[in-house]
Amino acid sequence: MRFFIRREMSIEHYIQKKKKIKFLILRMKPVGDTILATPFFYVLKKKFPDCHISVVVNTPFAEMIMNNPYCDEVLAYDKKKPLAFLFIMLFRKFDVSIDLMNNPRTSQINLFAWARYRIGLQKSRNFFYNLRIDLNESIHEIFNVDNNLKMLRFLGIEDPYYEFYYKPDAGSEQFTRNFLKEKQLKGKIIGLNISATTDVQRWPTEKFIKLGEKLANETDFRVLIIWGPEDQGKIEKIRLSRDPDDKIIFTPPTTLNQMGAFIESCSLLVTGDGGPKHMGVAMNISTLTIYGGVSAKEWNPADTERFPYITSAIDCYPCHNKKACKLGTLECLHQISVERVFEKIMEMNL
């Protein structure tokens, strides 16, 4: 079979001869990981200006990169129609595929994509990748993007300069402007994001509310509570218990890009680790991240002046567990006080 024939021509020689390289990048995880893939688009376009970049993402997250100037094509993967997607991939004829996930689903897509050079991780099940790299060494000590970009060394790219890119669409930005105008929300806005994929990424909501009250009463900042679909029941209960003339404003239900547009309107975003945090960083919004068990070194950019973070001092931090607390206590998050976060905000030059 053509797919398993060993290629005599090195990838370096091949890309020198090829006029227009077709890249396939697979990054199907949620919002944050989708945004963390955007430096790949930037670096590849700078190195190979005439290249064509296609990116596979799960359908719900496709909107995050639809208007990315360094991405030529977004291939939205519908989990309900996997066979139809795989059939389409058979005819795409990519030159180089880069799998940033290396799970069974992306490995399957990579197989059907039939790329000449297939870059993946050094794992036992990845026998059909012909260019493999081990990124496990010191993985928790290196920023995720810097670590993953090592995969581009096969293309002669070493420690490249890169930029993130995320920009909400014009309709989402207009939606946000209308809401802020209606609420007469002007001046410096601090966004407090309570949304998180898992509990180990979520600083307690009641602490976010207390922080919002403290900021509203003791500073001239306006406070905006940002939340996701999973928080709606909680938000409704909080709203009912508060004065209608409260200084704290809650965003309405939003799409991902509408949430991004609200973050874009903030002078500072305070958040747990996750998608909204990476939105803020990609838009160069000052972002203060409160970490649970995962390593800040792995998930926070090196610019800690603009993107500072807070972690607990308990012995089990970091546990690197993004799904659940093994002790069931979430002490790493509960230990971080409202006063400590408030003081960190006051230290920032906003």
Beta strand 52-58 pairing with 73-77: parallel
CA distances from 100 to 34, 74, 119, 230, 238 (A): 10, 15, 9, 27, 39
The answer to whether the pTM exceeds 0.85 is yes
The neighbour count for residue 155, using CB atoms within 10 Å, is 21
Distance of CA 7 to the CA centre of its chain: 35
What is d(CA 74, CA 283) in angstroms, rounded to the nearest whole number? 20
Report residue 137 as tokens: 């060494």
Residue 4 has pLDDT above 50, yes or no: no
Report the pLDDT value the prediction gives residue 124, as an integer from 0 to 100: 64
Handedness of CA 244, 261, 101, 333 (dihedral sign): negative
List, edge to edge, every strand of the sheet that includes 131-133: 73-77, 52-58, 22-26, 96-99, 117-121, 131-133
The kind and range of the H/E element at 120 are: strand 117-121
Residue 160 belongs to some domain of the structure:
no
Q: pLDDT tens for residues 76-98?
A: 999 999 999 999 999 989 999 99
Contact 188, 350 (CB under 8 A): yes
* Measured distance CA(127)–CA(121) in Å, rounded: 10
Helix (H) / strand (E) element for 182: namely helix 170-182
Q: Are residues 205 and 151 in the same domain?
A: no
- In total, how many domains does the chain have? 2
Domain that includes residue 126, residue range: 2-155
Q: Residue 10's pLDDT is what?
A: 87
Nearest of 51, 151, 56, 46 to residue 108 by alpha carbon: 56
Res. 151: pLDDT tops 90: yes
Per residue in 325-340, pLDDT (tens digit) is 888 899 999 999 999 9
pLDDT of residue 6: 46
Answer with the residue of higher pLDDT: 267 or 320: 267
Mean pLDDT of 32-42: 96
Residue 5's pLDDT band (boundaries 50, 70, 90)? very low
Would you place residue 3 in the very low, low, confident or very high pLDDT band (cuts 50, 70, 90)? very low
What's the mean pLDDT in 39-43?
Answer: 98
124 lies in some domain:
yes
Say yes or no: 184 and 89 in one domain: no
**Would 226 be classed as within a structural domain?**
yes
> Which of 128, 155, 182 marks a domain boundary?
155
The pLDDT tens digits for 187-197 are 899 999 999 98
How far is Cα 17 from Cα 20, in angstroms, rounded to an integer?
A: 9
Tokens read off for 316: 């089990």
Q: Is the residue at 91 inside a domain?
A: yes
Integer distance in angstroms from the first to the last C-alpha of the chain? 60
243 with 330, same domain: the answer is yes
User: Does residue 211 share a domain with residue 273?
Assistant: yes
Task: Give the model's pLDDT for residue 125.
Answer: 67
User: Which band of pLDDT confidence, cut at 50, 70 and 90, is reported for residue 349?
Assistant: confident
The CATH number of the domain holding residue 15 is 3.40.50.2000
3-state secondary structure at position 56:
strand
In contact, 23 and 110? CB cutoff 8 Å: no
